Structure 1
Amino acid sequence: MLLPVTMAVHTTTSSSHPLLFLYRGTANPSPAVISLPSSLRGVSLRSRATAAPPAETLSDDGIPDAPPEGEGTGIPLPSSIGDDGEQLLYGIAGKEIVTRPCAQLVSSHSDSLDVSQEKIVIINRYGERLVGVLHETGSKELVVLCHGFRSSKEGRTIVSLADALTSENISIFRFDFSGNGESEGTFEYGNYYKEVDDLRDVILHFKKHKRDTHAIAGHSKGGNVVILYASIYHDISKVVNLSGRFKLERGIEDRFGNDYMEKIDQHGFIDVEDKTGRIIYRVTKQSLMDRLKTDMHSACLSIDPNCRVLTVHGANDDVVPSEDALEFNKYISNHELHIIEKADHRYASHQLELAAVVLKFIKSK
């Protein structure tokens, strides 16, 4: 049950915001092998075709918000997974999650705005290739966008925010965490602090190229990652947490059953499969404990008071309860909370409202 909001909380109940024109360029169909660029801006490729909507797959806790199956080197993302279709297998031998060879990459350009898009590879501290897209508007500062659990830089929430920010002449970089999307590495159920390391390596890469990161924003699990980052590194002035989970122990029983710890102790791991019998991901005890030991309460208290934090949450979020947003508001000292009425976890019918809230915060002094 949603707790009464007694603090200063903004809510959005209608689409009365100024109209935001969100565009997305269509990728050039002829792929080119990518290499680490010598500069941050690549050659722009133009296309006047309208991009087709991406095929839906599932992200955080079974929510569709990811690129089509087969893109990239991280976790395979089937297009028909759901709580009603998942099968949990315990201790099944001979099935492993493997890392595929690095895919060929392409560049694209949005013809409606003078924004170049360049695929960039950044090598993280673990020697893995992180693949991202730089939307270059010419602005000095940069906003880095972080995707959620089992999603990617191509998730519609991330892409819509990228379009909205670049429409206001704000350069952004969206990338795949290691083990996800096009980036190298093995997907793990937890990996919260490893994804913080990925984000750190991205920020340091741009700093080396004389680009300061003005703000970081993350959706769902990405919201947790940006909060954790701000609790460790005090070099970001603005943080945007979109539908992040405060109580990380919550939601596990719904997915794996209330005896999940007994099962994982007995069998060593849990394989999550789709209806076709293909493994989506493996939950090991180590990765499960990584999530359970991640303390968002302590992280919130460790954020520099000079760092401004915005939390946005949908009132009708059925994946991460909106009560979690109130917890962030309770423990982060320099915090703004915005609840969007009737919005779900993906902001499926509220992308314009979400973009308007984030833009106002990013552009504010």
Structure 2
Amino acid sequence: MDGETRKTEFTSVSGEKLAAALELPRGRPRAYALFAHCFTCSKDIKAAREIARTLCASGIAVLRFDFTGLGGSEGDFANTNFSSNVDDLVSAADFLRDEFDAPALLIGHSLGGAAAIVAAAQMPEIKGVVVIGAPAQADHVVMQISERHEEIKRQGFAHVSLAGRPFTIKSQFLEDLSGQNVLNAVAALKKPLLVMHAPHDQTVGIDNATKIFAAAKHPKSFISLDTADHLLSKAGDARYAASVLAAWAERYLDEVPAVVRAPDFKGGAAAQSIDGEPLAVALSIDGYAMVSDGGPEDGGNGLGPNPTRIAEAALAACAAITVRMYARRKKWDLASVDVRIKRGGSADAHRPRLLEKELRVSGDLDAAQRARLLEIADKCPVHRMLTEGVEVQSRLA
């Protein structure tokens, strides 16, 4: 995959830490998408991974996460319900909006699809909703525990086995389901909808897709997933769904200018102007591509960090790498390094006279070791280049 999987977490409305994975393409993402997994599944189910990574390869960043009480997330599953799943989705969208960019696509699998339909009303930036194998009503999931229904109603809970794993289902879960109306939410969606369903789905029948599609207003689309099963357990089926999804989304996502890739330049850096862009340049740093641009205040479009920010990032990265190399050589217990660079006051925003470097280290380190690591951070090559000065010789090619 041409990108990275970044582990992260965010806080739910009830205070639990929810585990997440953000699939990021190289360069500026085309858009951000949010993925809701199926009932009692996790963000790491094959369908979630394959769909997220296929979309990432097409330039769309995808956040997949574990609902409260599942996977790596905190909380007790027994205290969750359909409404809390909707709340978790809204919290995930808030996290993306605050830390990166608001999600433009909302994707839900199975019961996660029903939750996505309901949650979309609370995400104004969403440009398209996609549901895969979704039930037309939230209480469809009760079919999986129908033999324990009376027990739950009688004693308030029951221990059930779902996909071979034990779960506790409380009466509040059933009561919450009975108060949901997914089809009403579909009718009020007011966003483009893509319905994807396998005609031979043995868990959520194809009639559910028919009901959702009939209730939706245009623009709406339906894609048959042919021989796929409910969980899209074959990687090829998940990748097919993602590739069709990406093509469908193109119609609704904001246009972004095509980025010219600078020629690979080994042993240095190259910058090449981008046609149609007032300031942006395509960079090649030892063959690694990125974009640098000015912000709107300078007449650019903010397609990437400005050059001075890149210099600050180089200082932070160099300090972190140098510290880790030193600690490894000394066999010190350095668990992690976090370097923050901030500008001091300067009349010229593009020519700071003071950079403040903050080093945060964790691990079994004493005070003397921590102090030494701070000294080492100031000996990294970029720090020395900036503070000792470097001669630049320019010429026309």
TM-score range, shorter chain: 0.5 to 0.7
Equivalent runs, 1:301-312 vs 2, <5 Å: 301-304=187-190, 307-312=191-196
Q: Distance in 2 between matches of 1:251 and 1:141?
A: 32
Matched, 1:282 2:172: no
Cα separation, partners in 2 of 1:265 and 1:347, compared to 1, 3 Å: closer
Does the 8 A contact of 1:143 with 1:214 survive in 2? yes
After the TM superposition, which residues 120-159 of structure 1 pair with which residues of structure 2 at under 5 Å, given as runs? 120-137=8-25, 138-139=28-29, 141-159=31-49
- Residues 286 and 206 of structure 1: CA distance in aligned 2, closer, same or farther (over 3 Å): same
Q: Judging changes above 3 Å, is the alpha-carbon distance between structure 1 residues 273 and 140 closer, same or farther for their aligned structure 2 residues? A: closer
Q: Which amino acid aligns with 1:142?
A: Y
Matches within 5 A, 1:167-186: 167-186=57-76
- The aligned amino acid for 2:186 is C
Q: Is the 8 A contact 1:219 1:242 kept in 2?
A: yes
1:322 Cα deviation (Å)?
0.6
In structure 2, distance between residues paired with 1:255 and 1:203: 30
Residues 129 and 161 of structure 1: is their aligned pair in 2 closer, same or farther, counting only changes over 3 Å? Answer: same
Instruction: Check the 8 A contact 2:105/2:127 in 1, yes or no.
Output: yes
The one-letter amino acid paired with 1:341 is: D
**Could you tell me whether the CA contact under 8 Å between 2:22 and 2:64 is conserved in 1?**
yes
Equivalent position SS for 1:235? coil
Change (3 A) 1:149 1:275: closer
Q: CA deviation at 1:221?
A: 1.3
Is the 8 Å Cα contact of residues 239 and 308 (structure 1) preserved in structure 2?
yes
Equivalent in the alignment of 1:28: none
Gaps of 5+ in 2: 253-397
Residue 251 and residue 167 in structure 1: after superposition, are their counterparts in 2 closer, same or farther (change >3 A)? closer
How high is the sequence identity, in percent, across the aligned residues? Answer: 23
User: Per-residue deviation at 1:353?
Assistant: 2.5
Q: Which amino acid aligns with 1:168?
A: S
In 2, the alpha carbon distance for the partners of 1:206 and 1:250 equals 30
Query: Over aligned residue pairs, what C-alpha RMSD do you find?
Result: 2.2
Rounded Cα–Cα distance in structure 1 between residues aligned with 2:217 and 2:103: 22
- Partner residue, 2:182: 296
Q: How many residues align?
A: 247
TM-score when normalising by structure 2:
0.58
Are 1:333 and 2:217 counterparts? Answer: yes
Following the alignment from structure 1 to structure 2, what is the Cα–Cα distance between the partners of residues 197 and 143?
17
Residues 12-69 of structure 1: CA distance to partner in whole angstroms, max 9, x if unpaired?
xxxxxxxxxxxxxxxxxxxxxxxxxxxxxxxxxxxxxxxxxxxxxxxxxxxxxxxxxx
Give the number of the structure with larger relative contact order, counting CA–CA contacts within 8 Å between residues 6 or more apart.
Answer: 1
Taking the TM superposition and a 5 Å limit, the aligned residue runs for 1:72-221 are 112-113=1-2, 115-137=3-25, 138-139=28-29, 141-188=31-78, 191-221=81-111
Aligned equivalent of 1:361: 248
Counterpart of 2:333?
Answer: none
Aligned to 2:156: 268
C-alpha contact 2:142 2:174 (8 A) present in aligned 1: no
1:314 matched residue in structure 2: 198
Q: Give 1:275 shift.
A: 11
Pick the aligned partner of 1:343 from 204, 228, 234: 228
SS at match of 1:172: strand
Q: Which has the larger radius of gyration?
A: 2
Relative to structure 1, the CA distance from residue 322 to residue 139 in structure 2 (aligned partners, 3 Å threshold; closer, same or farther) is same
Deviation, 1:290, is 1.2
3-state DSSP of counterpart to 1:364: coil
Gaps of 5+ in 1: 1-111
Q: Secondary structure at the match of 2:78?
A: coil
Distance (Å, rounded) in 2 between the aligned partners of 1:280 and 1:144: 27
The equivalent position to 2:118 in structure 1, one of 213, 228, 235, is 228
Q: TM-score, normalised to structure 1's length?
A: 0.63
User: The residue matched to 2:169 in structure 1 has which SS?
Assistant: strand
Q: CA deviation at 1:283?
A: 1.5
Query: Which deviates further from its counterpart, 317-326 or 239-248?
Result: 239-248
| CA contact 2:69–2:80 (8 Å) conserved in 1 | no
In structure 2, how many angstroms separate the alpha carbons of the residues matched to 1:233 and 1:355?
22
Distance 1:136 1:317, change over 3 A: same
Once the two structures are superposed, what CA deviation does each residue of 1:93-151 show, in whole Å capped at 9, x if it has no partner?
A: xxxxxxxxxxxxxxxxxxx42x1221111112211101111122221621111111111
